[in-house]
Structure 1
Amino acid sequence: MTANRTLAIAGASLLVGLIVLGLKFLAWYITGSIALYSDALESIVNVVTAIVALIAVRLAQKPADAALPYGYHKAEYFSAVIVGVMIIVAAILIFREAVLGFLAPELPEAPVQGLMVSGVATVINVIWAFVLIRHGRAVRSPALEADGKHLLTDVVSTIGVLLGLGLVFLTGWAALDSVLAGLVALNILWSGWGVIWQSVGGLMDVAVPKDTQKTIREVIATNADGAIEAHDIRTRQAGKMTFIDFHLVVPGAMSVDAAHAICDAIEAKLREAVKDVQITIHVEPEEKAKHAGIVVV
C-alpha cells in the first residue's frame, strides 16, 4: 500500500506541475513581465522533475534480480541528479532573459490580474511541496523529497517576484523587473547545486546519519550475548534501503548453530530499530578479535 501511494503521489506531482505551469505562463502572458516569465520557466523544470521522479520511483520499487542483486534503489539518486542539472539549465535561461530585459526594459501590463494568477499557482505549490517532503521523508524517497524541496524553492522565488513586481508598478522602474529575474536565477542555481550535492552523496554510498549509527551500535551491543566483540561496522544508504555489515567475533569452540542464533537475534532487533534494512554479518573465531569496535564481553 505504501509503494502504491508513493507511486500515486509521484503521478499526481506531474498533474500538479502541469496545472501550475499553465497558470504561471498565463500570468506572464497577461503582464509581459520578464520576472514572471522566469518564474514560468522554472515551472517547466518542475514538470520535468515530476516526470523523472515518477520514473525513478517506479524503477526503485522493482525487486532485486540477478542483474542488480542489491536492488534498484539508487535509481532515485540518478533522478535527483538529473533534476539538479535541469534546475541549473533553467537558471541559465533565466539569466539570459534577465540580461536582455535589462538592456531594453519595459513596464509589465495588467499587474493585478497577473499577480492574482501567479498567487494561485504559488498556493498550490506550497500545499503540494509539503505533501511531497512529508511523504518523501516518511518512505525515504530521495526523488520525492528533492521534488518537494525544489517546489519550496520555487515558492520562495515566486513570493520574491510578486513583492518585487509590486515595487515595479509603484515606482515605475522597469529595469527592476529584470533584476528580479536575475535574483530568481541565482536562487534556482543554488537549489540545483544542493540537489546534486545531496544525490552524489547517495551515489557514493554515504553512511547513515550519526543518530542511526548510534542506534545500530546500541542494538548490536545489547543483543550479542555469547559473542566477544563486533568490529568493522559499516553502513550505507541507497534510497530507502539501509545496508549494514560487520564482523562478529565468537568463541572458537562455539558451534555454528549457536553463532547463527546470535546473528538471528541481532538481525531481528536491527530490523525493529531500522526500517528497510539489509544486514550482512561475518562470523569470526576469537583469534580474529581486534579488541576494538563494540566489545560484548
Structure 2
Amino acid sequence: MSKEVIEKAPAKINLSLDVLHKREDGFHELEMVMTSIDLADHLTLKSLPEDKIVIQSNNGFLPLDQRNHAYKAALLVKETFGIQLGVEMLIKKKIPIAAGLAGGSSDAAATLRGLNQLWKLGLSLDELAVLGAQVGSDVPYCVYGGTAFATGRGEKIERLSDIPQCWVVLVKPKKGISTGTVFSALSYESLQHPATRSMVSAIENQDYLKMTQLTGNALEETSIIRQPAIEKIKQKMLLFGADTALMSGSGPTIFALCHKYSRAQRVYNGLKGFCNEVYLVRTLK
C-alpha cells in the first residue's frame, strides 16, 4: 500500500498590487501584499513505482498534462533530484480557474510540499520556494502562505504578521481575463500606484481600518476596460456595506472585506443573484 500525503492549497487575494516598470527580461517589477483565504483546493499525492506523473481532478476544465502547474512542479522535483519514482495526484478543485486567485500556483506549491514529505527530501520551505520560482511567479509565496510582501516578479517574499481576521466575499465573473493581455495593455504613465509599503505598516500595526483604506491594484483600470462588470460588482459590494472592494491579481475576481459577519452575509446575499460564482470565506491565520 503506497503512502499518501494530503495537502491543502489555499487561494490568495492581493490587498495591494503595484507595477513599477517592465524589466529587461520581459517580466514586470512588482510590489504586492498578499494574504491566504479559506477557499482551497485539496491535493492527494501517492507515490507510484513506475516513472510517470498522473493527475486526476474533479474539474473538467483543468488540464491534466504539462500545462498544469502541479504537473510542472512534480516534473521539476523529479528532474532536480533524479527521482525514478512516479506520482499520482488527485486535485479536488474549489478555487475557480483563471480567476486571479493563484489556484494553479497554490496547487504547484502544495505539490512541492507534498512530494517533499512523500519522497522524504528533507527540504526547507525556503528551498521549496526557490524551486517554486521556476514553475511560476506566485509559487514561492504559495509555498509559505499567510500574509507576505512580495517584490521582484513576485518571487521575493518577506513574510508579515497575519492580517486582522475578517470575512471575504469573492465574486468571479463569467468571462475570464488573460494576465498577458492585461500586462501588455498597461499604460505606465497613467497607472494608479497604491501605497503598498503603507499597507505593510498597517498590517504590522494590526490596523484594520487603515488596511481597508489602503487597498489598491494598479492593474484594475486596465482590466475594467476589458471587463466593465468588474467595476459594477465593486460598486455593488460597497453599496451592500463592504469595508473595501478590490480586484485580485489581474482579475477577473473581485473581493470584499468585511469585519462583521452580518455585513459579509449581506454582501454575499446581494451578489448571489447577480453572479453564479460567489463565495463567503474567512482570511486564514
TM-score relative to the length of structure 2: 0.25
More strand as a share of residues: 2
Larger-Rg structure: 1
Higher RCO (C-alpha under 8 Å, 6+ residues apart): 2
More helix as a share of residues: 1
TM-score relative to the length of structure 1: 0.25
